[in-house]
A = this chain, B = another copy of it.
Amino acid sequence: MDGTEYRIKRTWMLRMSHGEDLLAEAGKIALHKGISMAVFSIIGAVSCASFGYYDQKERRYAKISRDGDYEIISCYGNVSLKEDRPMAHAHILFGDEEGSTFGGHLMSPTRIFAAELFLQELDGLQLIRKHDNTTGLFLWE
């Protein structure tokens, strides 16, 4: 739980592209801007939703996809390196027309209807995801 200190480098607030996949688009933005470490938040709406639940016993993600139009009630994530490439990791909450909610670990396909991204690049010791034996996840060392 020690960690090292970081500094905020570059900051963006932008509208994401209509029709694109939310997770892929977050990764693309990082790649195109040369970002290897960041935190981000997104609000908006999607026209199909996918998310995962990590089965801690089976050590694998179960994936659920739902067709339909949903609000992005919250989506918070980070960018770090996995196998030398920037990887976006985010958790998301969707809401339907009655305000009922569901969500988990953001997966594809999750199609952007409209989405507003706030992203802050971090400067400091590079965080790298490696396989962790205790959890079966790819975690920062």
**Is the Cβ of B96 less than 8 Å from the Cβ of A53?**
yes
Quick one: copies of this chain in the complex?
Answer: 3
A11–B7 contact, CB under 8 A? Answer: yes
Interface pair A127/B89, CB less than 8 Å apart: no
Taking A43-B89, A55-B97, A101-B102 as given, write out 10 further A-B residue pairs in contact, using a Cβ cutoff of 8 Å, ordered by the A residue number: A1-B29, A3-B13, A39-B41, A39-B118, A41-B76, A45-B54, A54-B69, A78-B116, A99-B104, A114-B132
Chain A residues at the B interface, C-beta cutoff of 8 Å: 1-8, 10-18, 20, 25, 28-29, 32, 37, 39, 41, 43, 45, 47, 51, 53-57, 62, 64, 69, 71-74, 76-78, 89-93, 95-105, 113-114, 116, 118, 122, 127, 132, 134-135, 137, 139-140
